[in-house]
Amino acid sequence: MNLKKSWVPPKFTSIHWDGKSLPTLQDKYEHEERLAVAVGDSDELKLLGIPAYQSGTDERAGEIISRLTSELLKAWQCSGNVVNMVFDTTSTNTGHMTAVCIQIQQRFDRALSWSRCCHHVGKLIVGHVFEDLKMEVSKSPEVSLFVRTRKNFIIFHMIQINLSTTLTFPSSPQKHTNTY
């Protein structure tokens, strides 16, 4: 069964995209730009693709991202259903001339609603918490706290949490005794 032909897109859908530099599939020490593109409504979110692309070429990032996004929407036959765009607030997405948002609207020859996603604000808050508590600050996925959590994640499934338990946190990083 061909998924692209059998999938019925929502009548009115939002398009979501985000780019990230990731290790290549062939060599974990080499990185490439990847673009995650999804569409959805309040009931369903469908990942359309995660194509790789070359940054640092003559083609601007906004042009590359809008082209790849438009190609995926056409391949999945849902470009006519898109009424909204969800994106982070980088200049690549929101600039006034060559930004992805402008280019996608030009490619579709119609205006779309803009929904700015502020999930990256959470990264800033966590960064400040790490800094204030004098914890390891890193942009790497190998932050020791997260490495330990990942190694011991199976334990979380084994522990039964009593939802009525109140967690209290100290007001000062020196008094690090949580009560459960």
Residue 35 has pLDDT above 60, yes or no: yes
Q: Can you tell me the distance from the alpha carbon of 9 to that of 79, in angstroms, rounded to the nearest whole number?
A: 10
Residue 46 has pLDDT above 60, yes or no: yes
- What's the pLDDT tens digit per position in 110-131? 999 998 876 665 566 666 666 7
Q: What is the CA radius of gyration of the chain?
A: 21
- Single-letter residue type at 119: H
Structure tokens belonging to residue 110: 């119609």
- Beta 113-117 vs 82-88: how paired, if at all? parallel
Of the chain, the percentage scoring pLDDT greater than 70 comes to 64
Closest Cα partner for 30 from 21, 39, 38? 21
Residue 170 has pLDDT above 80, yes or no: no
Closest Cα partner for 98 from 130, 133, 66, 124? 66
pLDDT, position 12: 95
pLDDT, position 30: 86
Residue 78 has pLDDT above 50, yes or no: yes
pLDDT, position 11: 94
41-50, 68-77, 83-92, 159-168 — which is least confidently predicted? Answer: 159-168
Most confident of 92-96, 132-136, 143-147: 92-96
Q: Can you tell me the distance from the alpha carbon of 180 to that of 177, in angstroms, rounded to the nearest whole number?
A: 10
Structure tokens belonging to residue 6: 């059998």
Domains and CATH numbers, the chain: 3-117 (3.30.420)
For residue 139, the SS3 value is coil
Residue 178, Cα to own-chain centre: how many angstroms? 32
Confidence band, pLDDT 50/70/90 cuts, at residue 152: low
The pTM score is: 0.64
Confidence band, pLDDT 50/70/90 cuts, at residue 178: very low
